[in-house]
Structure 1
Amino acid sequence: MTTRKYSEVWDLDVFFEGGSESAEFEAFIDALPEKVESFFSYLKSLQQPVSVTQITKALNIMKDVLVEISHAGGMLSCLTAQNTKDTKALLLQNKLSSIGASFAPATLRFQQILAEIKEAEFIQLLEEAELKKFSFILTEWREQAKQKLSEDEEALISALSVDGYSAWGQMYNLLIGDIKVEVDVDGDLQILSIGQANNLSAHQNATVRKNAFEAIEKVFTEKEEFFAKTLNHLAGFRLTTYKKRGWNEVLQEPLQVNRMKKETLDAMWGAIANNKEPFVRFLKIKAGMLGKEKMDWYDLNAPIVGKAPKMSYQEGAEFILKHFGTFGPKLEAFARTAFENEWIEAEDRPNKRPGGFCTGLPVANQSRIFMTYSGTLSNVSTLAHELGHAFHSYALRPVDVLNRRYAMNVAETASTFAETIIADAAIGEVTTKGEKLNLLESKLQRSVAFFMDIHARFLFETRFYEERKKGVVSSQRLNELMEEAQHEAFAGALEETHPHFWASKLHFYITGVPFYNFPYTFGYLFSLSIYGKAQEEGNAFEEKYISLLQDTAVMSVEDLALKHLGEDITKQEFWEKGIALCIKDVEEFIRLTAEEG
């Protein structure tokens, strides 16, 4: 029973009243170039050998600038997502991109200063009390500098990225935000955003699901050349940069960004490839329940038993709070703060960007969560997912700002961990076999998404980049690559695919993190190992979990797993343990369907 009505619209005025029209916000952004220049000037004044005091001072200046740029970036992410027609926010975003581009050469200069220190002297510096806690990040920066071009060349790349690389990413947001989809929903022709149309993939009525899918495919077919050009230019800029740096492997940057070895990635996908058969069986059974021989893309999220369960936003919030509390009091208290203090934008309305995200506003030590909530169980799961991200940031509050910059794969660990709590709680609360079957199927959709859908994205993107090295890839070829990847990743379980998925999925166009796909699967399986420990230890595990989260920004993922789980994640055996838990869900699903007839 709901005890309080939570707002479905977030509060951004607490940061800058008036949003993009705020004079205070514009002044905040306008003050940043001088601070960047001050940092750069200080670095230019340094001469080798640099002292502990000089490095410490540089870190403190850098920290302040990083926090303020991140704060402004978080605010602009919120403003442009909540209203794709906010032209003032887009202008401010362009301004901030230029500032970020000017800051990049300064950070590179600092990294190069570190790289110029002799090895023995560098090791000695890291033993000093002021720098010891930064040893991981300083070593990482030093190694990154060795892999890059000269300071002037990297500065030029950064400057050109404002009107090149970053601009194409912003172009995608403009294009997607401008799209309206006409969908026949039970005889009512509705004009929807892409996000609203995507939510219909879980509609009870099969005709509505198909109508929504065909409407999305139609609109992206009409505009495919715009999206093909955008994707090609993003990839072209990235590949040209890699070539200049002498990087031959397209996965070098995403692996580096995720602090992860190639052996770990190969082990993960290898374990998944060897264990797809149970999930193919699941999809075949689900297709049969829907009256089909094989699954179509637009039926992947379809409910299977009776009417699809619905939860209002208020009910979803209370459900999450209740079950977060069963894991630990700090997670529950944090989530309650997010609901009560209006950190979440969930209202279902037009002109919102599709998808969901969590962003930090570090000056205020707060987070904001964006999504479009329409009452499905998938929405409840997304809400828990984003709260998991926010809790990760909360857990890192006691840690120095420079030691909070965790990679995407471990970020997705915290979010999928929160999702798993809610998925299991929902199954545990139902009273009938039919309800349990529906929820178990919903949980298995996540396994299908991470083992098949995300795998298809990875296969598509890897192959697209290889072809892009030879020249521009046509929209027709992009469709072919997408269909081939979906057929392969779903191991032949799909009948109708989603050929324009490459155009409709935001993740292919994000400039901040390359290959925005495999970290989701990593996070899912990694979180299952953590969840297993939590199940064994109960509430006592929460402090250990927070300790793990605090280490995510100062370790490689291999070292993190070894320290906190005692596992070697470069071996397929580790990943197979998590997959085995998901296979048990398939077996239970098969058992229940047999009983239900």
Structure 2
Amino acid sequence: MSFFNGWSVGGRPVLAAGEPAAAGTRPDYGDLPEWNLADLYPGMDAPELQRDLEKAEAASVAFSEEWKGKLQIAAGNGQLGQAIVEFETLEELLGRIMAFASLTYAGETANPDKAKFYGDVQQRLTDASSHLLFFALELNRLGEDELDRAYAGDKTLARYRPWVDDLRKEKPFQLDDQIEQLFHEKSLTGRAAFNRLFDETMTALRFEVDGQSLPLEPTLNLLQDHERAKREKGFRALSATFSEHLRTFVLITNTLAKDKEISDRWRGFEDIADSRHLANRVERDVVDALTTAVREAYPRISHRYYAMKAKWLGLDRMEPWDRNAPLPETPNAIIGWDEARNTVLSAYHGFSPDMASIARRFFDQSWIDAPAREGKAPGAFAHPTVPSVHPYVLLNYLGKPRDVMTLAHELGHGVHQVLAAEQGALMSQTPLTLAETASVFGEMLTFRSMLDRTTDRRERKAMLAQKAEDMINTVIRQIAFYTFERAVHAERANGELTSGQIGELWMKVQAESLGPSIHLVEGYETFWAYIPHFVHSPFYVYAYAFGDCLVNSLYAVYQNAEAGFQDKYFEMLRAGGTKHHSELLAPFGLDASDPAFWQKGLGVIEGIIDELESMDG
């Protein structure tokens, strides 16, 4: 686990994003902020950046010369803690450089100079960090007795015990040093290269709608338009362009699935998702229990909701372009940036003034990039960068209610990352399953705050419906995505998959999760192609469902709690990666290994659908 080789980026599940209208017709969102990356480095050509690149390269070599082959001796003479301190300092430096390159690229992925800069920095840091690979491998070769004696005599080492214990979970799956180095160095021409091919291909795609050539995000945004004809045009344009480029996406999928299978086989992972479970520090049976509970809830949640929505829209059944359609009751007014900011900060303040104070810094100190720009990375995320700096948030803000929820979500990540930073570069990173806790909790606070202020019955119905859809998209859809991924990776073990085979797997899983009220027409079989999580982070998606169900249960505890909940909540966030999910949830009386835990979370979604159903009476 390192900021260079595995820093986490919190983001929203990819559903349908937005983009401004055509030039000259863009709504007035107010003064949208753009981030200032100078807290990392002044620019791509900054002498400070060049100095740090050279320093990182030289220091990595020096670290290897000082400690390689000597950790057993260091453990015996009380110097192992000092070695970890030096390693953490290097990881922080590498992470700072990589964060700047990544954010620079994300802000303008279509810019060839920034793409080259990102690639060049990635290459130099991969070369530098190859000198550090020995450290974790050699540390894991120490015996338990040796480590126990070292902890007793080295206070510095004792502080890092959670990190060392966490690292040793990877011991059964690590390979010989030379093989690990080969995997590391070839990653740029293997997995990372296909990741970048996906990103740059997706950024370059154009979709023809009514004579306009649109990028991905404005076309996806049409799927949320009030006019059904526009939604269908957006769907047809998406399907046509995805079909045209399907050979590329099939090649990427086949290559990355095989690449993962090779790595998993060499490392000795039994199940195709076990490497993700290890990275998430969550047990396979916990994820299996979540998956089973959600799939069993499809009829009670998504099938029932979409049947209701079809009726609200006056349809016997919906087409795929109707799934995210706004209800007739949904206000069409644009929400300005100032209103969105105040809404989220007010909701955060109602929970904790300290939480609002941290979130306000993102606005006041230019830590947010909000405008939707040509060539900018789609979607939204919160990047923790490194503990010595601060997180940055990327949005594509379009003034819709869901954009306000996205802002609340990413600021939840940001608050979490600020609080966890005190653990340092090695222990501040939270596994993905728990990394979604603060973000989804921030959304829930904002939603409940907005709902409590709503007195109009039609507006309340629209808000509840939007929340139900967000929860379905976060829980039901993401478990469906996870099921699809498992099917693709399992079938890839038998040979390359054709576009037809992948499309068939996609349609089967979608039919199961969406239910009979949505007619899956021809063309929808290509819609797996644009989901970046499948490419960048295989099996990532179940973390969203984990986080949403967890927060539903956590919020119920908050509603019924006496004083002290906020303190326990902040302690959970401050822990970063130093505790297992069982330790973090215990103070709230929650246990993710208990199958009933997931039923509680799903019950919250059912309760919202129940209320919507009663409003039709």
Provide TM-score, normalisation by structure 2. 0.90
Aligned to 2:498: 474
- Matched residue SS, 2:74: coil
Aligned to 2:215: 193
Q: Match for 1:574 among 585, 592, 597?
A: 597
Aligned to 2:228: 206
Residue segments in structure 1 that go unaligned for 5+ positions in a row: none
Residue segments in structure 2 that go unaligned for 5+ positions in a row: 1-28
**Contact persistence 2:347–2:445 (CA under 8 A):** yes
- Matched residue SS, 1:397: helix
Is 1:248 the equivalent of 2:249? Answer: no
Aligned to 1:140: 166
Question: Greater CA deviation, 241-250 or 387-396?
Answer: 241-250
**Compared with structure 1, are the counterparts of its residues 494 and 77 closer, same or farther at alpha carbon in structure 2 (3 Å cutoff)?**
farther
Is 1:54 the equivalent of 2:92? Answer: no
Cα offset for 1:434? 0.5
**Contact persistence 1:296–1:495 (CA under 8 A):** yes
Letter in 1 for 2:166: E
Task: Please list, as runs of the form range in 1=range in 2, the aligned pairs for 1:8-19 lying within 5 A after superposition.
Answer: 8-17=33-42, 19=43
Letter in 2 for 1:406: T
**Contact persistence 1:36–1:102 (CA under 8 A):** no
**Contact persistence 1:115–1:146 (CA under 8 A):** no
Q: Match for 2:312 among 284, 289, 312?
A: 289
Cα offset for 1:364? 4.5
Letter in 2 for 1:573: A
**Compared with structure 1, are the counterparts of its residues 238 and 103 closer, same or farther at alpha carbon in structure 2 (3 Å cutoff)?**
farther
**Cα-to-partner distance string for 1:129-168 (whole Å, 9 max, x where unaligned):** 2222322220222331332110001101111111111111
Cα offset for 1:437? 0.5
Q: Distance in 2 between matches of 1:277 and 1:230?
A: 34
Letter in 1 for 2:343: F
Q: Match for 2:183 among 149, 153, 157?
A: 157
Cα offset for 1:232? 1.6
Q: Distance in 2 between matches of 1:577 and 1:526?
A: 9
**Compared with structure 1, are the counterparts of its residues 232 and 333 closer, same or farther at alpha carbon in structure 2 (3 Å cutoff)?**
same
Is 1:586 the equivalent of 2:614? Answer: no
- Matched residue SS, 2:408: helix
Aligned to 1:131: 157
Q: Match for 1:362 among 366, 383, 386?
A: 386
Cα offset for 1:27? 4.0
Letter in 1 for 2:614: R
Aligned to 2:96: 71
- Matched residue SS, 1:182: strand
Q: Distance in 1 between matches of 2:207 and 2:48?
A: 37
**Contact persistence 1:430–1:436 (CA under 8 A):** yes
Task: Please list, as runs of the form range in 1=range in 2, the aligned pairs for 1:115-514 lying within 5 A after superposition.
Answer: 115-127=140-152, 128-184=154-210, 189-279=211-301, 280-306=303-329, 307-362=331-386, 364-496=388-520, 498-510=524-536, 513-514=537-538
Q: Distance in 1 between matches of 2:108 and 2:383?
A: 16
Q: Distance in 2 between matches of 1:534 and 1:590?
A: 26
- Matched residue SS, 1:116: coil
Aligned to 2:4: none
Q: Distance in 1 between matches of 2:612 and 2:114?
A: 47
Cα offset for 1:119? 1.9
Letter in 2 for 1:289: W
- Matched residue SS, 2:411: helix
Letter in 2 for 1:532: A
Cα offset for 1:103? 5.3
Letter in 1 for 2:292: G
Q: Distance in 2 between matches of 1:55 and 1:232?
A: 43
> What number of residue pairs does the alignment pair up?
583
Q: Distance in 2 between matches of 1:473 and 1:504?
A: 17
Q: Distance in 2 between matches of 1:218 and 1:27?
A: 48
Cα offset for 1:407? 0.8
**Compared with structure 1, are the counterparts of its residues 130 and 227 closer, same or farther at alpha carbon in structure 2 (3 Å cutoff)?**
same
Q: Distance in 2 between matches of 1:140 and 1:157?
A: 21
**Contact persistence 1:203–1:308 (CA under 8 A):** no
- Matched residue SS, 1:361: coil
Task: Please list, as runs of the form range in 1=range in 2, the aligned pairs for 1:554-573 lying within 5 A after superposition.
Answer: 554-561=578-585, 563-573=586-596
**Contact persistence 2:421–2:576 (CA under 8 A):** no
- Matched residue SS, 2:34: coil
Cα offset for 1:37? 1.6
Aligned to 1:543: 567
**Compared with structure 1, are the counterparts of its residues 485 and 64 closer, same or farther at alpha carbon in structure 2 (3 Å cutoff)?**
same
**Contact persistence 2:485–2:538 (CA under 8 A):** no
Q: Distance in 1 between matches of 2:351 and 2:611?
A: 24
Letter in 2 for 1:73: M
| Percent identity of paired positions between Structure 1 and Structure 2 | 23
- Matched residue SS, 1:405: coil
Cα offset for 1:545? 0.9
Cα offset for 1:465? 0.6
Aligned to 2:139: 114
**Contact persistence 1:177–1:193 (CA under 8 A):** yes
**Contact persistence 1:42–1:58 (CA under 8 A):** no
Q: Distance in 1 between matches of 2:463 and 2:563?
A: 25
Q: Distance in 2 between matches of 1:281 and 1:90?
A: 45
Letter in 2 for 1:88: D
**Cα-to-partner distance string for 1:10-38 (whole Å, 9 max, x where unaligned):** 22234323x43444434433432222222
Cα offset for 1:445? 0.7
Aligned to 1:36: 60
- Matched residue SS, 2:316: coil
Bigger relative CO (Cα 8 Å, ≥ 6 apart): 2
Letter in 1 for 2:186: L
**Compared with structure 1, are the counterparts of its residues 241 and 200 closer, same or farther at alpha carbon in structure 2 (3 Å cutoff)?**
same
Q: Distance in 2 between matches of 1:278 and 1:437?
A: 19
Question: Greater CA deviation, 517-526 or 300-309?
Answer: 300-309
Q: Distance in 1 between matches of 2:208 and 2:79?
A: 60
Cα offset for 1:298? 2.2
- Matched residue SS, 1:20: coil
**Contact persistence 1:259–1:407 (CA under 8 A):** yes
**Compared with structure 1, are the counterparts of its residues 149 and 437 closer, same or farther at alpha carbon in structure 2 (3 Å cutoff)?**
same
**Contact persistence 1:102–1:158 (CA under 8 A):** no
Cα offset for 1:194? 1.1
Q: Distance in 2 between matches of 1:22 and 1:233?
A: 37
Cα offset for 1:209? 1.6
**Contact persistence 2:474–2:544 (CA under 8 A):** yes
Cα offset for 1:585? 0.3
Letter in 2 for 1:525: C
Aligned to 1:96: 121
**Contact persistence 1:381–1:423 (CA under 8 A):** yes
**Compared with structure 1, are the counterparts of its residues 20 and 86 closer, same or farther at alpha carbon in structure 2 (3 Å cutoff)?**
farther
**Contact persistence 2:111–2:375 (CA under 8 A):** no
Q: Distance in 1 between matches of 2:173 and 2:591?
A: 27
- Matched residue SS, 1:495: coil
Provide TM-score, normalisation by structure 1. 0.93
Q: Distance in 2 between matches of 1:9 and 1:200?
A: 25
**Compared with structure 1, are the counterparts of its residues 505 and 105 closer, same or farther at alpha carbon in structure 2 (3 Å cutoff)?**
same
- Matched residue SS, 1:347: coil
**Contact persistence 1:360–1:367 (CA under 8 A):** yes
**Compared with structure 1, are the counterparts of its residues 581 and 68 closer, same or farther at alpha carbon in structure 2 (3 Å cutoff)?**
same
Q: Distance in 2 between matches of 1:411 and 1:295?
A: 34
